Amino acid sequence: MLEKRRNPRMDISLELHISSLFKQDNDSIEINSPITIVDISKGGIGFTTDDFLPIGYYFNAVLQLGHQESKLYCVVRIVRSQTVEGEGNRYIYGCEFVGMAPVLDFIFDEYANEINSN
């Protein structure tokens, strides 16, 4: 199948904790939702969780890819969701990075080099 994404996805296994979601109109939701990131690209992340999260909401994230010392502080917007087949109340989400400087692309390039050398 022809890849149509602007940035290729890289498999990753990270745990992240979301404490609140927010929208630009100061609407926020407090949650206690652990998530598992399943893939990442320069454009965003894919993750699974047991909680339903609304599309269009944002959250703050701090990501450390692989064995790098660099941490990526970013804002992420939920753009799509679907129920995981056969896993009851489990959801998979697609999110995009918002307002991230292109200069931070080197973090993803370093991570891609790290996983390709293994």
Secondary structure E strands in the chain: 10-22, 28-40, 44-49, 58-63, 72-83, 91-98
Task: Look up the domain containing 62 and give its range.
Answer: 10-117
Q: Which of 30, 33, 45, 31 is nearest to 100 (CA)?
A: 45
87: CB partners within 8 A, 6+ apart: none
Q: Is the pLDDT of residue 25 over 80?
A: no
> Considering its fold, how many domains does the chain have in total?
1
CATH of the domain at 85: 2.40.10.220
The predicted-structure confidence for 68-106, as pLDDT tens digits, reads as follows: 777 788 899 999 999 988 867 889 999 999 988 777 788
In a domain, 54, yes or no: yes
In a domain, 3, yes or no: no
> What percent of the chain has pLDDT above 70?
92
Q: Is the pLDDT of residue 3 over 60?
A: no
In a domain, 40, yes or no: yes
Is the pTM of the predicted complex or chain greater than 0.85?
A: no
